[in-house]
Amino acid sequence: MDIAQLNSLSYEDFVDVLGNVVERCPLVAAAVWSGRPFASVSELEGRIHQFLDSLPESGKDGVLRCHPDLAGRELRSGTLTAESQAEQRQAGMAALAADELSRLARLNAQYKRRFGFPFVVCARLHDAAAVMRLLAARLGAERAAERERALGEVKRICGLRLIKSHLLPVCP
């Protein structure tokens, strides 16, 4: 789909196509729809980023809470979104040994208690060992800094999902 086709979509179709570029947040696609026509998909991505940045802290936390735990029960039960399932599998999260799953579950729980939202990382860019190292390291961050870091990861995921959906060129 090219930018002209994307710009011509009805509200419902636009939200249907882009509703999960930010995990389980079709509100984001709905919010940027009125900014059409977009000159480029890069502009669309920028508008999504602007919208995310403009949210109050509670809204940013809400976006982050839409993300599943890495290698959590949703992955094991098959209830992740198709995008998250592919991303987590690619990172090796579905192939963790029992001791690794246990450690990751403990780290995920600590992280959620500390920050109030799940650990978010662009799994496509890391393997399972790197994800666990990042999770352990980020547990020591200040809450505001970690929220911004997690939101940055949401933006990375969004960009890669736009590429995967053939909306953005691989090398802009």
Any residues with CB less than 8 A from the CB of 72 and at least 6 apart, and which?
A: 105, 108
Set 49, 67, 126, 166: catalytic member: 67
- Closest residue by Cα to residue 50 from 19, 16, 84, 22: 22
Instruction: Decide: 17 and 9 in contact? Cβ < 8 Å.
Output: yes
Instruction: Decide: 45 and 108 in contact? Cβ < 8 Å.
Output: no
The verdict on whether 49 is a catalytic residue reads no
- Residue 28: which H helix or E strand, with range? helix 26-33
* Active site (catalytic) residues: 67
